[in-house]
Every structure is written in structure tokens, then in C-alpha cells.
Chains A and B, each alone.
Chain A
Amino acid sequence: MGKRRAGSGKGGTMDVDPGANAGYMIAAYIVTAVILVGYALVLWRRYNRAKRE
């Protein structure tokens, strides 16, 4: 796991393998989408309920 670590800007070292650590990125993008869409759905359901009354 050590070799997948990117250097924090230590210039001149080997560029990181672009495919590495994709999991973190995917997780972040998915979590964000879930939270945003989820909240939107919650609000939409509340709206429908309030509209009916």
C-alpha cells in the first residue's frame, strides 16, 4: 500500500499511477450523489404530502 501513496508535491518524483486509489474517488462521488439525491427525494415526498392537505 505504500507504493500507491502519492507524494504531497515533492516535485520530480515519479508520477503516480493514474489508476490507483480509484476506490476513494468513486466512494466520494457516490456518497455525494446519494446524499444530494436522497435529500431531494425527502423534500419531494414532504412536498407531495403537504400539497395534499
Chain B
Amino acid sequence: MPDRVAARRIASRGLVLIALGLVTLAGIYLLALRFTPVERFQGLPQKIFYIHVPAAWCALLAFSLVGIASGLYLWLRDPRLDRFAESTASVGLMFSIIMLTTGPLWGKPVWGTWWEWDARLTFTLILFFLFLGYRALRGALVDPEERARFSAVVGILGLVLVPFVHLTVYLFRTVHPQPIVLKPSEPSLPWDMLRTLLASLSAFTVLLIGFVMTRYGLARMEDGEAESGKREGGDDGR
């Protein structure tokens, strides 16, 4: 019972964070659309940058967390780690969908095509498929312990993969005009654009934390429900 109360508290706090994040995001929207200068060469679509980059950042962060939690799970076999990994993976999938839709919307007006097989875009696609594969695998496995173990293997192998994909970024000549997807290593970004980016990054990070907390809390509430309510001890195979 105290377990369920704790779970509920995590979920409700997560929801508060989400609400906070969404309100802040509305402010960011205003900031980016009204109070940030329009970029010279790309025009208005460049403003998608203020959403695309933070979403990519969150997706990558989420994925790293999934990988770390997966590795820890294989070592410690604590089901909370599995639950955390599963929650973070769901949220990461959402952010990577945002990344994958805003990317082409930015690319089409600026480069003339919806998609380019440059290394960074390929990286975003790979990340999406990793999240998708993780979720699909979980959906296909019924036994909770097996599901936790197997998806942890995918998680940790995926984390090992990321540096290699990142390496590829530096090896390919890329058409990406703004040299930033994951690392704002661009010192010449003017301050009024940089501050909008940083503000947006903070809002997105708050959202990430809020979403993960809520998902985690909900998973614990629902697992606890399944255990105490029914005798079979199965959960809904998420």
C-alpha cells in the first residue's frame, strides 16, 4: 500500500512538471516566434531549429538513460530499473517522432528536399528505429522477466551503437547547413538566438523529466494493481 501511495505521488508530481513544462513551452513559442530575429539565409523555417534541436537532445538523452538502465538491470536485476527503462523509452520515442517530423519540415524549404541521407539525419532515423524496435520487442514478449531481460539487451547494445553512429557524423561531408543537431558547438550563434535555444532546451528537459516520472509512476501504480487485484500476476504486457 505505501508503495502505491509513493507511485501515485511520483505520477502526480510528474504531471505537475509536465504542466509546468507545457506552460513554459508556450512562452518559448512566443519567444522564438516573436522575439527572436529571423535568420538571414534560411528565413522563417530556421525557427524550427528551436524545437528540433531540443527534441533531438531529449531523444538522445532518453536513449542514453535507457541504455544505462538496461545495463544496470542486467547486472542488478531490479525490476524498477526495467520499469524506468520502459518509461524512458516510450518518452524517447515520442521525442524522436517530434525530431523526425520537424526535421524534414525544416529541410524542405531550406534544402529543397524532405530528406537527405546525411549522417545526422540518418542518426535520427536510427534512433527512432531503436526506440521502435525496443517497444516492438517488449510488445511481443509475454513473460515479464524475459521481457525485461531481452529488452535490456537491446537497450545496452543500442547504447554501444550510438558512439559509432556519432563517429559516422564526423566522417561524412554533410549538407546540414546549421552544424548543430546534438552539440551546440557553434560559438558564432548570436546571443538572442542562443538564449532562445537554451530556454527551449530547458523547457524540453523539464518535459522529459515530467513525462518519464509520470510514466514511471503510472507503471508502478498499474503493476501494483495487477499484483494485488488479480491472482494471475500478469501485467498488460507493455
On whether A and B touch (CB less than 8 Å), the answer reads yes
Q: Residues on A close to B: CB < 8 A?
A: 4-10, 13, 15-22, 24-25, 27-29, 31-33, 35-37, 39-40, 43-44, 46-47, 50-51, 53
On whether the beta carbons of B48 and A24 are closer than 8 Å, the reply is yes
On whether the beta carbons of B218 and A50 are closer than 8 Å, the reply is yes
CA distance A32 to B58 in the complex (A): 13
Interface of B, secondary structure class, is helix
Residues of B within 8 A of A33 (CB): 25, 29
Interface size on B, residues (CB 8 A): 47
On whether the beta carbons of B18 and A40 are closer than 8 Å, the reply is yes
On whether the beta carbons of A6 and B221 are closer than 8 Å, the reply is no
Residues of A within 8 A of B18 (CB): 40, 43
A and B contact pairs by CB, cutoff 8 A, 6 listed: A9-B41, A20-B109, A25-B48, A36-B25, A40-B15, A43-B15
Q: Which residue of B lies closest to A22 (CB)?
A: B44
Task: Tally the A-B contacts, defined by beta carbons under 8 Å.
Answer: 117
CA distance A37 to B102 in the complex (A): 16
The 3 closest A-B pairs by CB, nearest first: A21-B109, A16-B43, A28-B105
Q: Residues on B close to A: CB < 8 A?
A: 8, 11-12, 14-15, 18-19, 22, 25, 29, 33, 38, 40-45, 47-48, 51-52, 55, 94, 97-98, 101-102, 105-106, 108-112, 175, 177, 207, 211, 214-215, 217-218, 221-222, 225, 229
